[in-house]
Amino acid sequence: MGMPKSNDGQGRGTGRRLLLRGVLLTVIAIVVLGFVASGCSKVSTAPDEVRLHYAGGAFEAIKFEKCINPSSGATYLGPGDSSYSYPFGQRTFDFSGSDDAESGPISIVSKDNVQLKVAGSATFTLNTSCETLRRFHERIGLKYVAYFDGSESSSGWRRMLNFYFKQPLDRAMDAASQEFEWKKLFNDPNAKQQWEQRVGVLARQFIKETAGADYFCQPNYGGSGECGDVVLTIQKPEPPQSLIDALAAEQAAKQQNLAQAQINTKVKTELESIRDLVKVLGPQGAILWKAVQDGRIDVVPVPADGSVNITPRAR
């Protein structure tokens, strides 16, 4: 009778296969975890936000992938990928000097070399048509770190606006102001209107020249068609307080002179009237006439018989 065959070899083979499977599953888990930990993520956009998606990372060249439009759901970014957020819709460069403004008022110099301050704002829409926004990001946004990091008060965005808006506005206002004296800019509505129109033309020209392309469009631009012009709102130029006070004093003096001139005219008229009376009535007659006119003498009619009763005026 033969001996039964041993199952030891078969058992050892099965154990090795199970061990290998376990090791393989562990390696796969480690790879998956490493993949997730290496930067795989997802992003979505708000209604007033657009994103640029760039693929690549430490081990491959970074290249533009696509634009992620406003109000888009979750978009998955691969390991090493990155995205950059920019505002979609109307934005403002505020140079009023208020606490939340991007800049203080802009200084200008008038034709007669008086320095004035101008506050206001420039309202615009960032051109978010995909290819244009990509060029803006690669030429300007990266340089100033102007993309948003979850905060509207991005310091890079503010620095970018100060360069591409404040400097052109400064140039435009100075150039236009050289055509007007400070009193006209401050006090003359017609001169101020002409100055504003001139500033508007020059500012839009200088903003485009500085940016190098139509990156900043009219406030309602929707991404297609003509970009349009930035809208400027400019307040009245303000001279130093000392000049305002001097101007007020000058106006007060003019009113006083006008009042004195009216008094002088009245006196002159009265003197001419007295001279005419003297010519007709003589000096004493003129004095008597004036006394009667002023009520200092009562005129008493004389009866036919010549009798007159005089009653002294009570004092």
Predicted confidence (pLDDT) per residue in 37-71, tens digit: 445 678 889 999 999 999 986 677 889 999 999 99
Indicate the pTM of the whole model.
Answer: 0.65
* 184 within domain boundaries: yes
CA 170, 176, 181, 182 torsion-angle sign: negative
Which candidate, 114, 95, 113, 115, places its Cα nearest to that of 105?
95
Is residue 292, in this structure, part of any structural domain at all?
A: no
Residues of the domain holding 154: 89-244
Q: How many whole angstroms separate alpha carbon 146 and alpha carbon 14?
A: 61
**For residue 16, how many other CB atoms are within 10 A of its CB?**
10
Q: Which of 224, 244, 264 delimits the end of a domain?
A: 244
Pick the last residue of a domain from 196, 219, 244: 244
Q: Are residues 63 and 196 located together in one domain of the fold? A: no
The reply to whether 233 and 183 lie within a common domain is yes
Residue with token string 């404040």 = 166
Domain count, the chain: 2
How far apart are the C-alpha atoms of 152 and 91, rounded to whole Å? 11
Q: Which two tokens stand for residue 293?
A: 């006119």
Q: Is the pLDDT of residue 303 over 70?
A: no
Could you give the CA distance from residue 313 to residue 93 in angstroms, rounded to a whole number? 83
- Beta carbons of 128 and 49 less than 8 angstroms apart: no
- Note the pLDDT tens digit of each residue in 240-261: 887 877 766 666 666 666 666 7
